[in-house]
Structure 1
Amino acid sequence: MPLSFHKMHANGDDFVIVDSRNSANPMTSALAQRLGDRHRGIGFNQLAVVLDCDDAAARLMFWNADGSTLDACGSATRGAADRLMRESNVTSIALRTNRGLLTCERTSSGAISVNMGEPLFGWSDIPLALELDTAVLPLAGDPAATSMGNPHCTYFVDDLTAVDIATLGPTIETNPLFPLKTNVHFVQIINRKHIRLRIWERGGGIPLGSGSCSCGAAVNGIRRGLLDHCVEVECDGGTVTVRWDGVGPVFLIGPVETTFSGTVHDSLSFRL
């Protein structure tokens, strides 16, 4: 059966939206892998399936390009919210994810703001393999850990250009301390309101940006007293804003754009 899709990006963090409202969820691990192949498929960092929901405009389920699932994706949530708000001609919408009910709004500038829920700091919530203080992990570089529905490990460095992310990222991602693996952030603080962030994404490699990673990195900087409560997060592909008051939910604000739409056929041939 043909599968319609929309390819979108948030500052270069690319994702695919598959709208499966009024139909069964078509996604499997194998299909997500095939679609995520940048040489033989569509290619994406994450994929979101939009499903019917009784208590929200829709329910979102997320997949990585390696066929694994995840509970949170700030960029794809913003993309789905953008499409659904345009469809209904509204400026606010609620979406259900495994993180709970997330409220999304279109700002006066056209950016999409998402309430990403409260960060989790318990060792078992992230999760870690051992009961530890998540503010300072016993790893070289003294990183901090949090969960935004997916695990995040944040390093604060003096010079981001000196970090070999392609080598360090997968080593930290698969450290036994993280039984479900982890996203890895490398943060250079420009000032208390501005950080430069580069990422090794769990199951994905080095992206141009990541909504949930931007949230996790900012949250770990705020909880350490290094940052103010509103932070501009500059990734390779562009900048998003993260707001967190230290106790409540995290808000992610940034742009999204549609790149193209198309249809995948059973043979994995494409029609745009």
Structure 2
Amino acid sequence: MRIAFIKMHGLGNDFVVLDGRTRPLPKIDATSAAALADRHTGIGCDQLVLLEPSASADFRMRIFNPDGSEVEACGNATRAVGLLHGAAARIETLAGVISSAPSGGGIAVEMGKPRFGWNEIPLAYAMDTHAMPVAWEELDAPIAVNVGNPHAIFFVPDTDAVDLARLGPEIEHDSLFPERINVNVATATARDAIRLRVWERGAGLTRACGTGACATAIGAMRRGLVDRKVTVRLPGGALRIEWREDGEIVMTGPATESFRGDFDPVAYGLYSSGSAE
């Protein structure tokens, strides 16, 4: 039996969505997730997204990077899934239950409250996460924020001048970050505007990163660089981020369905729908 998929993207950050809310999916592990995400021999995507039934929310969302690692949260994927669902929803993730709803600007997602403790990022040892006393060449004194997944944000004069393709993986895999880290380089261009580039943990350079936009906006707000409502402009487009007075982060932006198709699960080492294991 062939498995249906939906190809979607949020500002160019693209996903293969497998919808198992009403019909069981085959077992997906790191190897099969990486095979499906491969752009040469698979369907190709930045993340593979699985939708499953949930006992605590409307449904459950699981997210796999192209290297097969499973991640806690993805803002762009949540907007895509919100578009697919077509109505307000509570979504169970590894980072907790988050909410999405249609909005005039696309899909609005309540991403939860940011965490700043060194052990909540997590870091390998205690330090001030507001201005970490570390540096990688010209990138220094980052602020660390966990918005469902871990981010380090470097504020620089010019985001395009940073060789993020080279420094990103070095920082991601530094022993300071036991669960690795998403690397953000940002420039506050006005009280309500930020430019951002992201090296995404397990995925590399990306056209857009929703959690990166949230973490960067929160970091800029904590440092007094911007107000509590900002537009974050990434290579793929813009997201609106608000840090509400109740501590909740709200991200609003577009999502797009690209096309639908199906694939033979045997070709990716998967069991067919309804099989044991």
TM bracket (short chain)? over 0.9
Contact 1:16 1:76 in 2 (8 A): no
State the alpha-carbon separation in 2 of the partners of residues 24 and 10 from structure 1: 24
State the alpha-carbon separation in 1 of the partners of residues 3 and 80 from structure 2: 18
State the alpha-carbon separation in 2 of the partners of residues 25 and 254 from structure 1: 31
Q: CA deviation at 1:25?
A: 5.5
Q: Does 1:29 align with 2:30?
A: yes
Q: CA deviation at 1:160?
A: 1.6
Once structures 1 and 2 are overlaid, which stretch shifts more, 24-33 or 62-71?
A: 24-33
Partner of 1:98: 94
Q: TM-score when scaled to structure 2?
A: 0.91
Partner of 1:17: 17
Partner of 2:78: 77
| Counterpart secondary structure, 2:50 | strand
Contact 1:223 1:246 in 2 (8 A): no
- Any unmatched runs of 5+ in structure 2? 269-277
Equivalent positions of 1:163-182 (< 5 A) are 163-182=162-181
Q: TM-score when scaled to structure 1?
A: 0.93
Once structures 1 and 2 are overlaid, which stretch shifts more, 28-37 or 38-47?
A: 38-47
Contact 1:46 1:64 in 2 (8 A): yes
Partner of 1:136: 131
State the alpha-carbon separation in 2 of the partners of residues 148 and 104 from structure 1: 16
Cα 1:150/1:139, change in 2 over 3 Å: same
- The alignment covers a number of residue pairs equal to 263
Over the matched positions of the two proteins, sequence identity in percent amounts to 39
Q: CA deviation at 1:235?
A: 0.3
Equivalent residue letter for 2:153 = T
Contact 1:230 1:242 in 2 (8 A): yes
Task: Deviation per CA, 1:59-84: give whole Å up to 9, x if none.
Answer: 11111010001010111111111111
Q: Does 1:107 align with 2:125?
A: no
Equivalent positions of 1:149-228 (< 5 A) are 149-228=148-227
Cα 1:247/1:142, change in 2 over 3 Å: farther
State the alpha-carbon separation in 2 of the partners of residues 225 and 202 from structure 1: 27
Equivalent residue letter for 1:164 = D
Equivalent residue letter for 2:95 = R
- Any unmatched runs of 5+ in structure 1? none
Partner of 2:273: none
| Counterpart secondary structure, 1:81 | helix
Contact 1:25 1:51 in 2 (8 A): no
Contact 2:111 2:251 in 1 (8 A): yes
Equivalent residue letter for 1:126 = I
Once structures 1 and 2 are overlaid, which stretch shifts more, 14-23 or 233-242?
A: 14-23
Q: CA deviation at 1:24?
A: 4.6
Task: Deviation per CA, 1:79-101: give whole Å up to 9, x if none.
Answer: 1111112xxxx3x2211112222
Contact 1:81 1:95 in 2 (8 A): no
Contact 2:95 2:149 in 1 (8 A): no
Q: CA deviation at 1:226?
A: 1.0
Task: Deviation per CA, 1:24-58: give whole Å up to 9, x if none.
Answer: 56321111100111111111111210001123221
Partner of 2:42: 41
Root mean square deviation, CA, Å: 1.5
State the alpha-carbon separation in 1 of the partners of residues 218 and 246 from structure 2: 10
Contact 2:244 2:250 in 1 (8 A): no
Q: CA deviation at 1:2?
A: 2.2
State the alpha-carbon separation in 1 of the partners of residues 36 and 219 from structure 2: 33
| Counterpart secondary structure, 2:188 | strand
Equivalent positions of 1:232-247 (< 5 A) are 232-245=231-244
| Counterpart secondary structure, 2:204 | coil
Q: CA deviation at 1:245?
A: 3.1
State the alpha-carbon separation in 2 of the partners of residues 82 and 160 from structure 1: 31
Task: Deviation per CA, 1:122-158: give whole Å up to 9, x if none.
Answer: 1111100001111111112110001111110000000
State the alpha-carbon separation in 2 of the partners of residues 254 and 13 from structure 1: 12
